[in-house]
């Protein structure tokens, strides 16, 4: 920057204005789609668990189990590590955590599928896809706490 006509204070204000604009641009997504990154993470986990359930007994089973485990870890990290410790009880973060917990239980049940006996992997895959927030409206997300499977 040429120093002939700008003072140090003016340069500082220009840098502050540029940083503020960059921060506002980065945070604009929160206004457009609140909890969007968390929803995407849970949706990816749901798709990965569904893919793993459908791959049981195939050559891709190990690879898709690893993919589902990583997706579950990433969604849990997005929902817990980077969030407040105690979210609002009926807020979207709490509902996403409940969906993620149910996906974890589905993932565990698929991993134990041979030991369970009468267990429908196709129904589990459908349930995991249903839990993906992209397919759920806010109304359905409030009612998403249904039993995983009937035994």
Give whole-number Cα distances, 26 to 32, 55, 70, 72, 96, in Å: 11, 38, 26, 26, 23
pLDDT in tens, 42-67: 888 888 988 898 888 889 888 999 99
DSSP per-residue letters across 105-126? HHHHHHHTHHHHSS--HHHHHH
8 A C-beta contact, residue 110 and residue 139 = no
Nearest to 106 by CA among 68, 64, 139: 68
86-106 mean pLDDT? 83
100: CB partners within 8 A, 6+ apart = 42, 45, 72, 75, 76, 79
13-42 mean pLDDT? 82
- The distance of Cα 147 from the centroid of its chain, to the nearest Å, equals 20
DSSP structure class, residue 112: T
- 39 pLDDT more than 90: no
pLDDT in tens, 79-95: 888 777 777 777 778 88
Separation CA 136–CA 97 (nearest Å):
14
Q: What is the pLDDT of residue 19?
A: 95
Q: What is this structure's pTM?
A: 0.64
């Amino acid at each position: 920057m040429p120093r002939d006509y700008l003072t140090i204070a003016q340069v500082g204000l220009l840098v502050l204005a540029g940083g503020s604009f960059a921060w506002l641009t980065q945070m604009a997504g929160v206004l457009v789609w609140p909890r969007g990154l968390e929803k995407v993470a849970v949706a990816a986990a749901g798709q990965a668990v569904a893919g793993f359930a459908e791959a049981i007994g195939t050559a891709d089973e190990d690879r898709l189990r690893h993919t589902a485990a990583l997706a579950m870890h990433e969604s849990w990290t997005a929902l817990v590590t980077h969030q407040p410790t105690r979210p609002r009880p009926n807020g979207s973060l709490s509902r996403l955590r409940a969906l993620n917990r149910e996906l974890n239980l589905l993932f565990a049940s698929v991993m134990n599928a041979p030991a369970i006996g009468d267990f429908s992997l196709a129904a589990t895959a459908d349930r995991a896809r249903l839990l993906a927030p992209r397919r759920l409206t806010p109304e359905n997300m409030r009612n998403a706490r249904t039993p995983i499977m009937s035994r």
